[in-house]
Chains A and B, each alone.
Chain A
Amino acid sequence: MNSALLVVVFIVAITLVAAALFLAGIMSPRSFNPQKGEPYECGIPTHGESWMQFKVGYYLFAILFLMFDVEAVFLFPWAVIVRDLGIAGLMNILFFLLILILGLAYAWKKGALEWK
C-alpha cells in the first residue's frame, strides 16, 4: 500500500509541473528577439561558455560530505536499537566513530576545512 502511494505522490509531482507548464504554454505570449536568448549577465556581453573548470574547494567538501553521510547511513540502524544493544553496542560503534573522528581531525589538520 505504502509503495503504491509513493508512486502516486511521484505522479502527482510530475503532473503538477507538467500541467502548470502546459497552462503557461497556452496562456503565455511568444515573441522572438535575438538579444532575448543571451544569458543574463547584467547587460555585459558574455565571454565564452560557463561550462568550464571550477574551483576545486567545492569538490573537497563534497568528498568529505560523502564520508560523513555514509557514516550517518550506517549509524541510523544502530540508532533505532540503542536501548536493546546497550553498552556492548555502544563500544562497537565508538570504535567506528573513532575512526571517522580521526578522519575529520586529519582533514582539519591538513587544512581541508579551510576555504582558500
Chain B
Amino acid sequence: MFDFSVVTHWIDNLLLSIMPRSCALFIEFILIGVALLLAYAVIALVLIYVERKVCAFFQCRLGPNRVGPYGTIQSIADMFKMLIKELISINHVDKFLFRLAPYIVIMASMLSFACLPFAKGLHVLDFNIGIFFLLAVSSIGVLGILLAGWSSNNKYSLIGAMRSGAQMISYELSIGLSIMTVVIFAGTMQISQIVEAQRDGWFLFTGHIPAFIAMIIYLVAGTAETNRGPFDLPEAESELTAGYHTEFSGIQFGFFYLAEYLNLFIVSAVAAVLFLGGWMPFHISGWTSFNEIMDYIPSIIWFIGKVGIMMFIIMWFKWTFPRLRIDQLLKLEWKYLLPLNLVNLLIMVLIVIFSLHF
C-alpha cells in the first residue's frame, strides 16, 4: 500500500539539499499550512453541496441544480455571495467578544481537523495523546458558541447559546467515555497506532459487543455535539430564528456554517478511525488473495469512503427523527447514555483483562 511518508521525506530531502535546515523547515511549515487550508476549504464546500443534495433527495426534491452541472459549483457561488455581503455592525453588541467568537470556533475545528489521519503517513499532528488532544480541542468550540450568543445582546441568541452549551457539554461525556472504551481495547491514545492496531480487523468486529454499543453511543453523542439532526435545538429555526448566530451576517455567519460542517466531518472521521479502522483496508484473516486485492485500493479512498458512510448515517438521522425537547435531550444523556456507557466501559475492561477477545 502506498505510504505518503515517502512523499514527505522526498520533499524534506529535496529542500535540505538546496538550503539550510531552518529555511527548509520554514518552507515545509508553509506547505503544510497551505495544504491544510485547502483541504479544510474543499472539504467544507463539497460537504455543503452533498448535504444539500442528500437532504433534497430525502424530501423528493432535486436540490441545487442551476449553477454548473448538477449544481456542483453552487457552494462556491454561495461562498462568494457570503463574501460580498455587508458585515452589519449592531449597536449594542459586546464588540470584542463578538469579533472573537468566529476565531475560536474556527480554531477549534481546525485544530481537531489537523489530527485526522487521512491516509497512510498523511497526517499533520500525531501526538502520543492524539485522541485525547482531539477531544480537548474540539470542546473549545462550545466556548465560541457561548461567546457568540452572549455577546449578541439578542434573547434568541442567548437562549440558543445556553441550550447549545448545556447540550454540548452533556454529550461531551458520552463521547469521552465511548472513546475511552476504544482506548482500553487498543491500549494506546496515538491515532496512528489506533489505526495500526486494526490491521487484522476493525474494532467494530474484533471489539465484541462493547465496541458496537460504544459506536452507537458515539454516533448519537456526535450528532448532538455537532448540533445537528434531532438535536438541533440551539438553532431550532421555528422557535429561535437562527439561534446563537442570529446576529452574525455575511462571512461572519459563514465561519459558523463552515465550522458546523467541518465538525460533522470530524465526528464522522473519528468514528471511522475508532471503529472502522481509519484508512486500514477491509481484511479477512486467511483470505490472502482477497486481502491483496483490498490492499490495491489506496488508503485515502478507504478513509474518505468510511467517513462518507458515517456522514450519510448522521444526515439520515436528521431527516428521520423529530426534534427533541430540551428535557428529553438531557434525560437521554444523563439517565440513559451515561449509565449505559459506564457499564459498557466496565464490560470492555473485563474483556481486555481476561483477554476474552479474538
Contacts and interface: CB of A to CB of B under 8 A. Distances in A.
Interface of A: 2, 4-6, 8-17, 20-21, 23-25, 27-31, 36-42, 46, 49-51, 54-55, 57-58, 61-62, 64-65, 68-69, 72, 75-76, 79-83, 86-87, 90, 94, 97, 101, 104, 108, 113-115
B39 to A, nearest CB: 11
Contacts of A11: 33
| Prevailing SS type, chain A contact patch | helix
A13 B106 contact: yes
B138 interface: no
Interface string B157-185: 11000100110011011001100100110
Contacts of A37: 88-92
Contact of B188 (A8, A9, A51, A80): A80
Contacts of B169: 61-62, 65, 69
B205 interface: no
A22 B305 CA distance: 36
A28 B85 contact: yes
Contacts of B312: none
A8 B83 contact: no
B234 interface: no
Contact of A9 (B85, B110, B170, B334): B110
Which 4 residue pairs of A and B lie closest in terms of their CB atoms, listed nearest first?
A: A115-B327, A37-B91, A13-B110, A39-B154
Q: How large is the interface on B (under 10, 10 to 19, 20 to 34, 35 or more residues)?
A: 35 or more
B85 A40 contact: no
B107 A10 contact: yes
Interface string B304-342: 000000000000000000000011001100110011001
Nearest to A34: B91
B250 A72 contact: no
Contacts of A55: 162
B243 to A, nearest CB: 12
Contacts of A54: 158, 162
Interface of B: 25, 29, 32-33, 36-37, 40, 82-92, 102-103, 106-107, 110-111, 114, 124-127, 132, 150, 152-158, 162, 165-166, 169-170, 172-173, 176-177, 180, 183-184, 187-189, 241, 246-247, 250-252, 254-255, 326-327, 330-331, 334-335, 338-339, 342, 346, 349-350, 352-353
A58 B165 contact: yes
A79 B91 CA distance: 50
Contacts of A101: 342
B177 A72 contact: yes
A100 to B, nearest CB: 9
A65 B170 contact: yes
B165 A62 contact: yes
B353 A2 contact: no
B124 A69 contact: no
A58 B126 contact: no
B170 A61 contact: yes
Nearest to B328: A115
B198 to A, nearest CB: 17
Contact of B154 (A13, A40, A81): A40
